[in-house]
Chain A
Amino acid sequence: MNPPHVVVIGGGATGAAVAHDLALRGLRVTVVERGEVTSGTTGRHHGLLHSGARYAVKDQESAKECIEENMILRRIAPGSFELNNGLFVAITDEDMAYRPAFLEGLETCGIPYKEITPQEALAREPNLNPAVKAAVEVPDGTMDAMRLPLRFLATAQSHGARILTYTEVEEILMQGRTVTGVRVRDHVTEQTYTIGADIVVNAGGAWAGKIAALAGVDVPLQPSPGVLVAVYGRWNNMVLNRMHRSGDGDIIVPQRTLSVIGTSSWVVEDPDRLEMKAEHIDLMYEYGAQLVPAIREAKLRAAWAAARPLIGSGGAQTGRELSRTFKCFDHAERDGVEGFVTIAGGKATTARGMAEVTANVVVKKLGLDAPCRTREVVLLPHTAYYRRRA
């Protein structure tokens, strides 16, 4: 008998990790993505491998998820990270007032850290604002926002998963209150066809709400865009964060030959309609320069907007109030719709953990006993994704 077939909607970090997890458990998997893989939010984030320190005070659930996954990713995706660690730096008295709660949060969340002197911080990062008053080193890192998910996809493909790009879901097929598959349009040939599924997983990220609506269910998802700015030059080698409450422009992630400053935050209804707020470019420069004054003169490479897929709704003004944690919805329990599971929220750093939780729900629904193996299996290189498409 053929193993059950799962259709995963969305070829971002979440869909890639879900496909990998399910394929490793022996299921047949088809990923459908309306554009190129990682063309939604995934490719556009800072490229930060989170230590969790950013969330250690206000969002400890997410912080704990981040540090756990950070350590797992180092093991399963060697060669995919610039592992230069990160610094949280206090510049003002107000920042210093945040320091005790920050250190306590790191302890509570189990995030390894080391406080270093301002002199030492400046020796490590000569471009850092010389007004630095305190500095805490944490295991932040830089990831390649596209190439890490490609490794999940490449490994999933090697276990039989099909990745269908330019394939847009037009309809979620149902018999009564049970999801039986999807009808898709192939944007290469403009043909439509149906794909049957034992279970459909909605891994649509910021689009998960739109996708869930196709099955007549509601997920509490709030797309929350931010503007990011990339400038030429590596002005720092460690990830530099401002030691204060999450706010605009409080991080500079060095990446390749660039530095990425992020980010602002607001909320939208439709993640397809993200206006790039030009005035936020100046804001990013201004705040970035508080961490690294020389950034002010750095040449702009690009400015863009990306929509975070945050859980929650109703009354969110900027998105900063919402947790970065994730949630898996079994719509049978929640909405009486069988065969349909949504994974929402989360971060690129926690995609593997999101996939584990989702796949646990999927195999349980299918009555299978197939444990998760993604904590141990080392991923294929990203280049294997393209090699196997021939």
Chain B
Amino acid sequence: MAEVTFKIYRYKPGAIDPPRYDTYRVSIEPHTTVLDVLEHLRLDDPTLTYRHSCHHGSCGTCGMLVNGKEVLACVTRVADLKTDTVVIEPLRHQPLISDLVVDMTPFFEKYEPVGMPYIRESEYLPHSQPPEEVGAYTRFENCLECGLCLSACPVVGSDPDYLGPAALAAAARVVQEPRGQDVPTVLAMVDTEEGCWRCHAAMECSEVCPNDVDPGGLIMFLRRELLTGTSRSGGKR
């Protein structure tokens, strides 16, 4: 068991304003995650606010900056950080509500209109034979809608009108597998100055994505599609 210092960003409009950092010493076990630490601290301080739900990197709510890097707190083990001081701050480029809580509304305003179906065909165990009633095995899309990519993107920080990596990646998934969506409409949505052409290819989005969506790669895919036009007929992968 080791003791680690946590410096946590605190802000509450009108109450903790300007923001400050509160410091805590916490004993950690090998399996203790950053989210476990926050849950532990909240027992004594119910005013500490943060988003969380699934605790296994599936819902995407607990995105935050840990020592300056975008992570999901629930799958970030403190021991793996290999430091005795951990700084926890809210995600960048999204409106701050309180402490570590950001407002996801702008994220969804750009992401939802793309209309990516949340279910896709499962590519796992490709030789297995699904039950007749099932047809083909399906699974949820990779994107957890966590917003880490928006926080890490240097363009999102300087240009609020940029569609951003999450929405562009969702658009690419529709182009790859339309599943009833209208591909030309989605391509028109991203074929704009504030769409896929705005990306600087810094690739920070793909670096921080906790579920291998590779938004940067998908933005490049969209550019190729628009330049070569192979998917205008709605071609499947």
Contacts and interface: CB of A to CB of B under 8 A. Distances in A.
A108 interface: no
A258 B75 CA distance: 13
B134 A43 contact: no
Nearest to B105: A390
A301 B75 contact: yes
Nearest to A34: B46
Interface in B112-153: 112, 117-119, 122, 124-125, 127-131, 133-134, 137-142, 145
Given A146-B59, A230-B58, 20 more contacts: A34-B46, A35-B52, A36-B50, A36-B52, A43-B53, A82-B119, A82-B140, A124-B131, A144-B59, A188-B101, A233-B124, A234-B139, A256-B211, A278-B29, A301-B57, A302-B33, A302-B57, A387-B108, A387-B109, A389-B103
Interface of A: 34-39, 42-44, 47, 79-85, 123-127, 137, 142, 144-147, 166, 168, 187-190, 228, 230, 233-234, 236-238, 254-258, 260, 272-273, 276, 278, 281, 301-304, 306, 381-384, 386-387, 389-390
Contact of A36 (B53, B107, B130): B53
B5 interface: no
A230 B50 CA distance: 22
B209 to A, nearest CB: 12
A83 B134 contact: yes
Q: Mostly helix, strand, loop or mixed at chain A's interface?
A: loop
B53 A44 contact: yes
A276 B109 contact: no
Nearest to B31: A278
Contact of B56 (A35, A127, A254, A258): A258
Interface pairs A-B: 6 shortest CB-CB: A43-B53, A302-B56, A304-B55, A234-B124, A237-B137, A386-B108
A306 B56 CA distance: 12
A124 B211 CA distance: 26
A39 B74 contact: no
A204 to B, nearest CB: 15
Contact of A386 (B33, B105, B127, B211): B105
Contact of B117 (A79, A123, A390): A79
Given A36-B61, A168-B46, A383-B112, A190 B139 contact: no
A256 B58 contact: yes
10 contacts: A35-B52, A82-B119, A83-B134, A124-B130, A127-B125, A189-B13, A256-B139, A257-B142, A278-B31, A387-B112
A363 B58 CA distance: 37
B53 A42 contact: yes
Interface residues of B, number: 59
B53 A124 contact: no
A382 B60 CA distance: 13
Nearest to B108: A386
A80 B104 CA distance: 20
Interface string B71-107: 0001100000000000000000000011001011101
Given A39-B53, A304-B56, A383-B112, A389 B105 contact: yes
A303 B75 CA distance: 9
Given A79-B117, A166-B101, A255 B140 contact: yes
B53 A230 contact: no
A85 B119 contact: no
B58 A255 contact: yes
Nearest to A145: B54
Contacts of A304: 55-56, 74
A233 B122 CA distance: 12
B219 to A, nearest CB: 21
B51 interface: yes
Interface string B176-211: 000000000000000000000000000000000001
Given A44-B55, A80-B118, A237-B125, A272 B130 contact: no
Given A83-B138, A189-B14, A301-B75, A234 B122 contact: yes
A70 B159 CA distance: 45
B12 interface: yes
